[in-house]
């Protein structure tokens, strides 16, 4: 099981959180391949932590559907199923739409300016065909809205679903379209007009159209 040794080792974080974040990222980007068997001793050595935070992280990853753990047998990375997009995007679209509605009363000009800036970065990345960058900036755009909604339960559920979507995008090479730039602009306008009905409709459409594109 080849494990990178030149990864970033962040400070001011718990060993468990560091291990979880790094293992999840490796699973998402394919460093740890589907069906690959994971050895907690090797992982602990690679991440510079003890086996306890590795085991705790693997248990959390299992609860989120990234690995399977069989007592006395192997711990393996789960497979990537193309059809999962039909299970991931509908609930994510509903949660994002609710987040937009809840964010509306908390929205201010500073956040709106940040959203406009992110949408410009998103458009530039698409024009330059930097699709990995576009995916990251698109997530940052939507995360601003989720953060502004200020609901920890929505935040947690969106974070988990978004990680699975990101993994699927990596493996299936799903390319975001410039139509999303227009939809982002409509969201910003609806925020300015405090039009919660349009916010919810546009947000759901922004996620669901990807299924049709796929």
Q: 3-class SS at 206?
A: helix
Q: Is the pLDDT of residue 16 over 80?
A: yes
Q: What are the extents of the domains in the chain? A: 15-77, 82-213
96 sits in which H/E element: helix 85-103
Query: Does the 82-213 domain belong in CATH 1.20.120.530?
Result: yes
The CATH code that applies to domain 15-77 is: 1.10.10.10
Residue 11 confidence (pLDDT)? 41
Q: Is the pLDDT of residue 43 over 80?
A: yes
Contacts (Cβ under 8 Å, ≥6 apart) of 5: 46
Residue 213 confidence (pLDDT)? 67
CA separation for the pair 58, 16 (Å, rounded): 10
Phi/psi of residue 81, each to 5°?
-105, 120
More confident residue, 10 or 193: 193
Lowest mean pLDDT among 9-23, 64-78, 195-209: 9-23
Q: Is the pLDDT of residue 7 over 80?
A: no
pLDDT (tens digit per residue) in 137-192: 999 999 999 999 999 999 999 999 999 999 988 887 666 788 899 999 999 999 99
Token digits for 103?
């964010």
CA separation for the pair 5, 183 (Å, rounded): 40
- pLDDT tier at 32 (50, 70, 90 boundaries)? very high
């Amino acid at each position: 099981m080849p494990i990178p040794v030149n990864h970033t080792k962040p400070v001011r974080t718990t060993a468990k959180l560091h291990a979880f974040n790094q293992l999840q990222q490796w699973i998402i980007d394919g460093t740890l391949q589907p069906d690959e068997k994971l050895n907690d001793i090797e992982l602990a050595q690679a991440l510079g932590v003890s086996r306890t935070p590795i085991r705790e992280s693997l248990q959390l990853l299992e609860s989120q559907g990234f690995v399977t753990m069989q007592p006395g047998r192997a711990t393996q990375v789960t497979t990537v199923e193309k059809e999962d997009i039909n299970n991931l995007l509908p609930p994510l679209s509903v949660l994002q739409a609710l987040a937009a509605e809840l964010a509306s009363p908390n929205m201010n000009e500073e956040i709106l300016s940040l959203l406009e800036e992110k949408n410009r970065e998103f458009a530039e990345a698409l024009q330059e065909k930097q699709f990995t960058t576009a995916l990251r900036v698109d997530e940052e755009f939507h995360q601003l809205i989720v953060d502004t909604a200020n609901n920890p339960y929505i935040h947690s559920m969106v974070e988990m679903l978004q990680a699975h979507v990101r993994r699927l995008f990596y493996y299936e090479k799903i390319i975001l379209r410039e139509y999303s730039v227009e939809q982002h602009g409509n969201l910003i306008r609806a925020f300015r007009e405090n039009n919660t009905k349009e916010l919810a409709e546009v947000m759901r459409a922004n996620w669901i159209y990807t299924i049709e594109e796929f």
